[in-house]
């Protein structure tokens, strides 16, 4: 693991790191904020998954999470959204290819070799974090924005014993039923829609996945609300399954990091209460 940069913030350390991933076959970059802590302490960890076109840098530069993490004593981990680099397949569209990994393990060529973000986020990166940072892997929470909200929900629902808290900002609630998701899942996974269900929070819940509770913030002025995000589908799935969902519709807020940064401290505190 290579340290790209470190900087002191709110008494802790914001770092950016790179390593050679065996899962994606590429170098992968990620950000970790470690709050101030006593020597030997093991801290809870909050995973943050970013949205379309983003890298680790978007939330690191615009997310305003460090003060809340320092006060709560939570390690904050932000991976990239896809493999990158020369030789990695890409697409001219912003919503597919590099920057748009959708947190799936692709099965279709040419994507299958590198686009394995599910395995990267679920298995490889957690092992690296556990080996190199002062984390207590028995206390993990996960959150994310947009495509990353979809990733957070689906990863947590598939791994209920690993994640003690789940939240999201404007998540793609049902990729099976929106243009972003239909495009990505068909090209990454093929035409069999049954194979897509492992990457759709509503479908996972319909198929028996459960969570203790979920927190979602959604801007009412979000341009993608009606066509792409559809939080009402998640609300209906959770109601049918008996999963407590706190869905906060925030008047006037859009899809940007102005929205995320406004409510991210609330999410950090919410996770901290469940990871303490």
* Per-residue pLDDT tens digits for 200-254: 999 999 999 999 999 999 999 999 999 999 999 999 999 999 999 999 999 999 9
> So what's the pLDDT on residue 62?
97
CATH class of 2-275: alpha beta
Instruction: Out of 146, 165, 167, 174, pick the active-site residue.
Output: 146
Would the CA dihedral through 123, 256, 65, 5 be positive or negative?
positive
Q: Among 105, 222, 267, 271, which one carries the catalytic annotation?
A: 222
- Domain map (residue ranges) of the chain: 2-275
- Specify whether 167 is catalytic: no
CB 175 within 8 A of CB 199: yes
Mean pLDDT of the chain: 98
pTM over 0.85: yes
Q: Which of 145, 150, 255, 271 is catalytic?
A: 255
Task: Check if 200 is active-site.
Answer: no
Angle value at C-alpha 102, between 170 and 157, nearest 5 degrees = 70
Active site residue 267: no
Q: What pLDDT is stored for residue 119 in this prediction?
A: 98
């Amino acid at each position: 693991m290579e340290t790209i940069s470190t900087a002191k913030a709110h008494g802790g350390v914001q770092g950016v790191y790179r390593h050679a991933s065996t899962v994606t076959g590429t170098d992968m970059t990620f950000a970790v904020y470690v709050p101030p802590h006593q020597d030997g302490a093991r801290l809870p960890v909050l995973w943050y998954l970013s949205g379309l076109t983003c890298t680790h840098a978007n939330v690191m530069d615009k997310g305003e999470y460090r003060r809340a993490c320092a006060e709560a004593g939570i390690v904050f981990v932000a991976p990239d959204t896809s493999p990158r680099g020369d030789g990695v397949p890409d697409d001219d569209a912003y919503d597919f290819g590099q920057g748009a990994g959708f947190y799936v393990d692709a099965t279709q060529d040419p994507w299958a070799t590198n686009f394995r973000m599910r395995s990267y986020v679920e298995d490889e990166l957690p092992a690296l974090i556990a080996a190199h940072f002062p984390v207590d892997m028995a206390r993990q929470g996960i959150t994310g924005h947009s495509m990353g909200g979809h990733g957070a929900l689906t990863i947590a629902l598939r791994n209920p014993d690993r994640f003690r808290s789940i939240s999201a900002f404007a998540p793609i609630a049902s990729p099976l039923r929106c243009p972003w998701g239909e495009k990505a899942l068909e090209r990454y996974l093929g035409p069999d829609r049954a194979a897509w269900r492992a990457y759709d929070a509503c479908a996972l819940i319909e198929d028996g996945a459960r969570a203790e509770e979920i927190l979602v913030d959604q801007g009412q002025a979000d341009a993608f609300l009606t066509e792409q995000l559809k939080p009402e589908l998640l609300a209906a799935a959770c109601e049918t399954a008996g999963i407590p969902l706190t869905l906060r519709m925030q008047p006037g807020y859009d899809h940007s990091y102005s929205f995320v940064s406004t409510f991210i401290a609330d999410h950090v505190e919410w996770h901290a209460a469940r990871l303490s």
